[in-house]
Structure 1
Amino acid sequence: MRIIHRRRAALVVSAATVLLTTGTVSAPVHAAGPPTADLRADVDRDGTVDLTGTTDTAGEDTWTTARGAVFLPNLDDDSKRCKATSPLGKPLSDARLASCNDAQDAVVNGAEDAADLARLRTVPLPELASNATGRVEVLTGLTKTRLHIKRNGKWSLVLPGQKLTAAELRAGVELGIEGRDIIRDRAVWDGRAVVRLTVTADGRTTSDDVTLRVAPLLTHHHAQRAQELLVTKVKGTDPGAKAQQKFVADLTEHAKAANLPAPRTFTGGEFNDVWAQDFFEPGYVGMTGPGGKSQSIRIMIRSVQEWRDAGREVFTKLRGPGVGGVQLAYGTDSGGTLDSMGNLETIPPHAHNGKSYPAGRIIQGQFPATGEKPAKSLRTMLASQGLQDPLLLDTGWLHVGHVDEFVQFLPADTPRGWRMAVADPEGGLKLLRDAKAAGHGAKRLFSRPAGTFPVPKDTIDQTLASAQHREDNALAARKIAENVAILKRETGVTDAEIIKVPALYSRASKWPGVSAADSPRLARTGASTTFLDILGKSPKKSGTASGRSSAAAAPEPTSAWIPGAINGVVLGNDRYLAPKQWGPVVDGKDIFTEAVTAAYAQAGMKVSYIDDYYPYHLGSGEVHCGTNTLRDTSTAWWGR
């Protein structure tokens, strides 16, 4: 937006207009005025600030998801200066730990940090008078941004009132802007920054404004290529610790087979928290950098669970060059099971009913019967990004209550680019009925050998005869169908695009000798390295170990009975890692393994299996719950 101050503009126009009179004909003649301020940014998002054409001028005063200059919240730590302890060696508070990043100091921390700056440039004014001066300032978003100027090849902070010289304005000035934070609440800050260039010459002042917006913080979907796995690695020699160490070793082999690096490991904090999916959610921000290449920063979202100290590893283990983290405000409504990040998944990009989600759409679980939802600070932040419009589903029928327990999205070679997979308890019961009809009713439901950890002894006949099991799976089937109906309505996905994965559910108190009050089904929101930990201990969290209110626990919800295949990890467009099924073995084959393999083949995926019986399955989760995944960040979120 170019502004010529009114009083001075009038003087310029009156002085520049000369009437030539020849008979009855008169015409205005305009003398050339002083050069006009012209500030530009990468409005068309091609990675270049156009100084000679008009590609970056139209729409420079507005911002939409399709057009408008973007800058990054510079929350990584390119110079690795952020510490986890005080000078005395004591752990920093959560707030201090989260507060360190590249945007909190006044310097540009090397070449990598400079790449995180969004460029603005002034159009050179070679005819500018020698007495001219200029300045640049942030009008909107001042406290949320830092503006830097490049002088003699070095970056420095633009200070209030700092002047630009005539020589600089003649040559053109290069500026860089960074965000100091993400959008946490658009009612407080909607992410916009308005930068103004003002030039004064020959008694005339002109100004030009450009509007930018901080890049939205986005969550990953499974159509993005997996790049790295993360998992908790515990120490110790007890059976639980050994089982977890074996899981990490096996996961490393599966990663290698998928051409991925060895998984990065966490310690799990005070509670040896093995639920790597739950204590943080990988996110990312991006813009187009020089040469049209993607410039992105990973930003890990710590769960809003203050008691869960493993979340601190977002800052102590992951933060560094190209990787930052955010911690949202704890509140009276935060800390429960719905705030675990396994309760946050993302539908891949789609458009339906006039609405487009080029970066995908978030789904989260809620408990409609009690009104419980994920913490307000988390929901507000996600919605404030303006792109992934979180959709809430009913997970109140599940003991842990996470969406990853019954639905997932798979990359597929289809016009949509993905399929939806859902757990199918009716399909699981049909496998048992077919096996019974074939004369195998006396087979054990679980083929896992008895050992250190409890294995149910139920047979196929006993399972099918159990009214409890029939009720539990009828509940699961009904609730899954209700959620699928919502997803079909919101996305346009059809039955032909849905893969049904055989599953069985049962209430928590099914475990032999374990009551509903101390069931392992309470464990996923806690942490454990021994079976006694799973059964008895809970983390530092008021209320029940799961963080659910007592009202939400009646009637008793369900969890996966046979290890939930839907709760696995997409390792590639054609590769899926599922929990080992340990189902009934008929004629030398696990009938659930065979059925799960066939189901995923419909999406063109080859399934491999990993034993996660302890601690994940016994803790009411599976391999997806116990791992996390960093995925490709290069695709433009505006759909270029």
Structure 2
Amino acid sequence: MADLRWVRLSTEKPTNTLCLLDTELSLDVCGSAPPGATSFDVWGTPGVNIYIIHNAEVLKVPSCVPRWPLDTRVEVIVTMDTPSAQVDDDKVRISYYKENGKAPMAKAILQLTCVQVSLDADTTRTGSVTRRAKNKKTWTWGPNGHGAILLVNCDRDDPEAEDMDNTDQELQSFMDRRDMSLMVLTTRGPDDAFEDNQLVLHISASDSNKLGVFQAQGKKKLSQHKHVLGSGKISYTVERSSDQTESVFYVEGLAFPDVNFSGLVSVHATLLEATSKALPEAPIFTDTVVFRVAPWIMTPNTLQPITVYVCRTDDNSEFVADVSKLTLKAGCKLSICPEVENRGDRWIQDEMEIGYVQAPHKSFPVVFDSPRNRGLKDFPFKSVLGPDFGYVTRESEDRNVSGLDSFGNLEVSPPVTVKGKEYPLGRILIGSAFPCPSGKEMVQVVRDFLYAQQVQSPIELYSDWLFVGHVDEFLTFVPASDRKGFRLLLASPSACFKLLREKEQEGYGDALMFEGVKDKKKVSISKILADKSLRNNNEYFQKCIDWNRDILKEELELAEEDIIDIPQLFSPSYAGKAVAFFPDMVNMLVLGKHLGIPKPFGPILQDQCCLEEEVRCLLEPLGLSCVFIDDFKTYHVNLGEVHCGTNVRRKPFTFKWWNMTP
């Protein structure tokens, strides 16, 4: 339905008004009728379409009915199809009659000037502006959905700049402009009509810190781009020069969706009609475009790796060399954070998570900086943020952060379908405490942010049974060519005890764990199996893992065939919380089919580590290549492993997030 505007008429003098293209005018025929009038007829110039609505029937004038009863149930609708060449170019005349009267007793004249005002953006999500769209005031999800999209302009295209591009009110480069969404204001009609009336671009005060708008007042110079809305500016009067039909604007996002922000913002273009010099203009038409700010999206292990990040410290040169060899095999890049930047903090997985944002016209990676703020706290902002690489963070106001706030405690599943509902971008996994009064959980500001993105509906797991408390200590995902396209790997004390019992029964009870590890006490298979305390503790740890197993099976709709149990034992630490008894093999680096797995230093049987051999038997049939990396002295003894010490930027999903339904 076209926009409808009520227009009052007068028999004393002509009424002048603007008729907007794609809108309807409803004429107040009864309100201007003189006393004694019982009927009317209507006439218009050729440029005007006139419709009579009577008894739910729509008739176009002229019709077979010469006169119409003066009744509030009779409605006169006027539209125009083409902008006028001159002001007051077209007219509508209403003639009033007494009962049985032949000559009109009075006439009301409406002088019309047709103009077009259309605010347009890429509402069809094709990468180009959609002109005169009918549904741009709403935003819908799904493959048949509509609505424009904004990127948070959170990268830093000028390497010399000190902050993100959306923190200032200037365009730093044309690269910066390409991160913004194009918006076009089209105005057609007589120049005098726009000189006598005012056209205002405006946003709500609540959206002022959510988006910014620049007007391009020239194409060749950045200085010709004027910041007109956002950062406190909520309205802007558009100056239309002679014969100018289009004003070009670029719109940037300033904020991601969050607990108090749905992600939807609106830009309005309102035409104000002049009344008299003593009074302000009156609004007669508003066109609106609704944008949704693109969410931050995480990438699972099943997506292709692009760059691996690792920290160099004074003791991990061999580890860095092993990771370098693995990235070479996987065909991806390696980025090494030097010690002067990491300040001895090797846990780069805990410091940040690399995701991306996407609009139809542009996509770029965005690093999410965790609130842990240790030695690596400046690295994401100073070294990862850059041209076409954005940055976002959430800080806890009370600074009361725990190990659960590190991003080893933040993972995402591959795409799944659960009870008929599709999650084409997977589901976020975060670790929390078992429901109890003293339990810890990830800080609220991070949790709120993750939930607000909507497209990767989070699942909360129980990770506080671990001393460090991260989900990557007991689970990971690896790609597979069958079933769901992946397998969930879970650390399993039960599988480990089962394997060791089998080896003892085969006569290898004296085989020692930790052979080759300097200054580490060796322990035999039989002694491990005889340690009742270790067994009892691991029965409890297995129950904690099984609690999560049940959640994951339910929330990801997994069958047992989709899960692989990786042999692993844990030891109790402070307050009975678990730490890995030997290097935690699920805490691996996944680079396509190449896996960088912590070397477990298990018992050597016939020149083979039985733990390594078991993992190969479990994973290599999936087409995966297992490379075991020695991280014992540099990571394991410091309560972390290969995954904790690395980070990966991956290719975005080919699936477009706006085509899903959250």
User: TM (normalized to structure 2)?
Assistant: 0.78
1:274 correspondence with 2:346: yes
Cα distance in 2, alignment partners of residues 169 and 374 from structure 1: 58
Flag the 1:29–1:627 CA change in 2: closer, same or farther, 3 A.
Answer: closer
Secondary structure in structure 1 of the residue aligned to 2:334 = coil
Aligned to 1:569: 589
**Paired residue total:** 557
Give deviations 1:458-513, integer Å, cap 9, x for gaps.
111111111122112212222211111111111111111112222222223xxxxx
1:624 deviation in Å? 0.2
- Contact persistence 2:366–2:392 (CA under 8 A): yes
2:132 counterpart of 1:60: no
Q: Does 1:18 align with 2:25?
A: no
CA deviation after TM superposition for structure 1 residue 22, in Å: 8.5
Cα offsets for 1:211-257 (capped at 9, x unmatched): 112111222211221110111112xxxxxx23x12211221111111
In structure 1, what is the Cα distance between the partners aligned to 2:533 and 2:494?
15
Give the match for residue 106 of structure 2.
Answer: none
Aligned to 2:171: 108
Q: How does 1:577-592 map to 2 (within 5 A)?
A: 577-592=596-611
The answer to whether 1:172 aligns with 2:196 is no
Query: Aligned residue for 1:513?
Result: none
Residue 325 (structure 1) aligns with: 391
Using the TM superposition, give the Cα deviation of residue 201 of structure 1 relative to its aligned residue in structure 2, in angstroms. Answer: 6.9
How big is each residue's C-alpha offset from its partner over 1:578-635, in whole Å with a ceiling of 9 and x where there is no partner? 1122111101111111111121224331111211112211112110001111111353
Higher relative contact order (CA 8 A, sep 6+): 1
Partner of 1:95: none
Query: In structure 2, what residue type is equivalent to 1:576?
Result: L
Secondary structure at the residue paired with 1:60? coil
CA distance in structure 1 between the partners assigned to 2:3 and 2:238 by the alignment? 18
Give 1:181's aligned residue.
255
Kindly indicate whether residue 616 of structure 2 is the aligned counterpart of residue 559 of structure 1.
no
CA distance in 2, matches of 1:5, 1:149: 29
Native 8 Å contact 1:126 1:170 kept in 2: no
Structure 1 segment 242-257 matched on structure 2, within 5 A: 242=315, 244-257=316-329
Partner of 2:301: 222
For 1:282 and 1:260, the matched residues in 2 are separated by 15
Aligned match for 2:632, one of 610, 613, 623: 613
Query: Greater shift after overlay, 595-604 or 402-411?
Result: 595-604
Aligned counterpart, 2:203: 138
Alignment deviations for residues 424-474 of structure 1 (CA, whole Å, 9 cap, x no partner): 222211221121111111111122242xxx323111111111112211221
Aligned: 1:198 with 2:273: no
Inter-partner Cα distance in structure 2 for 1:425 and 1:412 = 24
Residues 60-109 of structure 1: CA deviation (Å, up to 9, x unaligned): 323446542110111111002344xxxxxxxxxxxxxxxx2100111122
Task: State whether structure 2 residue 237 is matched by structure 1 residue 163.
Answer: yes
Q: Is the 8 A contact 2:348 2:644 kept in 1?
A: yes
Aligned-partner Cα distance in 2 for 1:410–1:124:
55
Most deviating of 153-162 and 340-349: 153-162
State the TM-score, normalizing by the size of structure 1.
Answer: 0.81
Aligned-partner Cα distance in 2 for 1:416–1:127: 61
TM-fit CA distance, 1:398:
1.4
Query: Match of 2:642?
Result: 623
Cα drift, residue 194 of structure 1? 0.7
| Shift of residue 24, structure 1, vs aligned partner | 4.9
Post-superposition CA distance 1:347-379 (Å, at most 9, x none)? 122231354333221111112242211111111
| Greater mean deviation of Cα atoms: 327-336 or 114-123 | 327-336
Aligned to 1:462: 527
Taking structure 1 as reference, are residues 599 and 340 closer, same or farther at Cα in structure 2, changes over 3 Å only? same
The one-letter code of the counterpart of 2:537 is D
Which amino acid counterpart does residue 174 of structure 2 have in structure 1?
Answer: A
Q: SS of the counterpart of 1:79?
A: coil
* Structure 1 residues 499 and 67, CA gap change in structure 2 (3 angstroms): farther
Distance 2:410 2:441 in 1: 12
Q: Is the 8 A contact 2:199 2:238 kept in 1?
A: yes
Could you say what secondary structure the match of 2:640 adopts? coil
Query: Which residue does the alignment assign to 2:98?
Result: none
Equivalent residue number for residue 346 of structure 1 = 412
Q: Sort the Cα spacing of 1:21 and 1:51 in 2 relative to 1 into closer, same or farther, 3 A.
A: closer
Q: What is the aligned partner in structure 1 of residue 155 from structure 2? A: 76
Evaluate the alpha carbon distance shift between residue 388 and residue 563 of structure 1 in structure 2; reply closer, same or farther with a 3 A threshold.
same
1:97-152 CA distance string (max 9 Å, x none) = xxx21001111221211111011223452666564452322235122211011222
Distance in 1 between the 2:642 and 2:330 partners? Answer: 16
Report if the CA contact (8 A) 1:3-1:208 is conserved.
no
Q: For 2:613, which of 564, 570, 594 is the aligned residue? A: 594
Q: CA RMSD in A?
A: 2.8
SS of residue matched to 2:154: coil
What's the offset of the Cα at 1:269?
Answer: 5.5
Asked if the contact 2:180–2:250 (Cα under 8 Å) also holds between the matched residues in 1, the reply is yes
Determine the C-alpha separation between the residues in 1 that align with 2:251 and 2:63.
55
Q: In structure 2, do the counterparts of structure 1 residues 407 and 212 end up closer, same or farther at CA, with 3 Å as the change threshold?
A: same
CA–CA distance in 1 between the matches of 2:400 and 2:451?
17
In structure 1, how many angstroms separate the alpha carbons of the residues matched to 2:607 and 2:155?
Answer: 52
Change (3 A) 1:476 1:557: same
| One-letter code aligned to 2:184 | R
Aligned amino acid, residue 169 of structure 2: A
Q: Secondary structure at the match of 2:448?
A: helix
Cα deviation digits, residues 170-210 of structure 1 (max 9, x gap): 5322221111222342x2x2222110112357878422011
The whole-number CA distance in structure 2 between the counterparts of 1:107 and 1:303 is: 29
Alignment partner for residue 429 of structure 1, among 488, 497, 522?
Answer: 497
Unaligned runs of 5+ in 1: 84-99, 235-240, 290-294, 509-552
Q: Is residue 115 of structure 2 the alignment partner of residue 44 of structure 1?
A: no
Task: Give the letter for the 1:279 counterpart.
Answer: E
> SS of 1:311's equivalent?
coil
| Secondary structure in 1 matching 2:350 | coil
Contact preservation (8 Å) 2:311, 2:342? no
Partner residue in 2 for 1:384? 452
Contact 1:63 1:69 in 2 (8 A): no
Residue 318 of structure 1: how far off its partner (Å): 1.0
Distance of aligned partners of 1:474 and 1:31 in 2 relative to their CA distance in 1, 3 Å threshold? closer
The unaligned stretches of length 5 or more in structure 2 are 10-14, 18-24, 30-40, 44-60, 69-75, 81-112, 276-282
Partner of 1:358: 424
Alignment partner, residue 337 of structure 1: 403
- Output aligned runs, 1:393-408, within 5 Å: 393-408=461-476
Q: Which residue of 2 aligns with 1:296?
A: 363
**1:229-244 matches, cutoff 5 A:** 229-234=308-313, 241-242=314-315, 244=316
Q: 2:561 aligns with which of 493, 496, 502?
A: 496
**Aligned to 1:284, which of 356, 359, 375?**
356
Change in 2 beyond 3 A, CA 1:411/1:60 = farther
Residues 201 and 619 from structure 1, CA distance in 2 versus in 1: closer, same or farther, beyond 3 angstroms?
same
Q: Report what 2:332 is aligned to.
A: 260
1:419–1:603: 8 Å Cα contact kept in structure 2? no
Q: CA deviation at 1:8?
A: 7.1
1:15 is displaced (CA, Å) by 9.1
Distance 1:76 1:417 in 2: 33
Determine the C-alpha separation between the residues in 1 that align with 2:483 and 2:173.
43
Q: Which residue of 1 aligns with 2:114?
A: 34
